[in-house]
Amino acid sequence: MASGAKSRKQIERETSAEQASRLVYVGTLASGLAHEIRSPLSAIKLNLELLKEELGGVPEEKRAETGRRLALITREVNGLDNLLTEFLTFAKPPRLEPLPTDLNQLLLDMAQFLQPACEQRHIQMKTEFQKELYPIMLDQRQFGRGVILNLLTNAMEQIEQQGTIVLHTRETPDHVEVAVEDNGGGVPKEHEARIFEVFFSTKEHGSGLGLAIARRIIQEHGGELVLENHPGHGATFVVRLPKSKILEFNE
């Protein structure tokens, strides 16, 4: 190798540093943007609540239509607020606070949280856990809500009605893995390469942030998120957490 040539590791480090720098910039920009947007959103919400309280004074023939319009505006405002929260979670995630975690139990907790929604859609949730799984360090709140809930919600939306979601855990020589498998329609082949892109969504009302947030949090833990796709039959999202990184957290 010529003395002036960069090694693969050097290029990877520089690329990683450049990406980190960009994310810091995006995070700073997002914080300022959030402040500018949240203030008028809060004012709009307050005025909506005041208008709802005054519905009784609206002529009866217009009351139902006025109430419907107020409800529609409220839904859209809440949607904007949720989108802003999701974007901030992606652009400027909180600092990790890893704690010793029983991964199987964390997954059970998240599955139980979504159980009522699954039952409503006639979706069966199954678990295939490896017993005595390698103990790992995780930010339980970020990993539970930002990764597992996002992946499970994504699976539910892919199935829509009547199907099965299977949660797997297993240990390999180098990794601890979590897999969320569904028997929905899978990801269209032409969308595979873009599935983790920010703001890319195949859903009509999707924000395109759920999978991006999940991948960002996993990367913060030193892991990776990959798609095993079976168009027309279902998809599996696999989280791989390296044991080497887990040991670093323990030091």
Domain residue limits, the chain: 8-91, 99-250
The residue written with tokens 């998240």 in the block is 110
- Measured distance CA(29)–CA(5) in Å, rounded: 35
Distances (CA, A) of 36 to 30, 32, 41, 209: 10, 6, 9, 21
**DSSP label at 108?**
H
CA distance 175 to 240: 6
How far apart (Å, rounded) are the C-alpha atoms in residues 248 and 251? 5
pLDDT at 36: 72
What DSSP string runs through 37-73? Answer: HHHHHHHHHHHHHHHHHTGGGS-HHHHHHHHHHHHHH
**C-alpha 135: how far from its chain's center?**
23
The list of the chain residues with pLDDT below 50 reads 1-3, 247, 249-251
Question: What is the fold of 99-250?
Answer: Heat Shock Protein 90 (3.30.565)
Residue 53: count other Cβ atoms within 10 Å of its Cβ. 9
Single out the residue of 163, 135, 166, 150 nearest to residue 241, CA to CA. 135
d(CA 32, CA 26): 10
Q: DSSP character for 133?
A: P
What pLDDT shows up at residue 251?
47
* Architecture of the domain whose range is 8-91: Orthogonal Bundle (1.10)
Report pLDDT digits (tens) over 81-106. Answer: 877 777 776 666 678 888 888 999 99
Residue that has been written with the tokens 């009522």 in this structure:
116
Tokens representing 199? 């703001």
Q: Is 98 helix (H, G, I), strand (E, B) or coil?
A: coil
CB-CB contact of 126 with 166 (8 Å): yes
Residue among 240, 214, 208 at smallest CA distance from 147 = 214
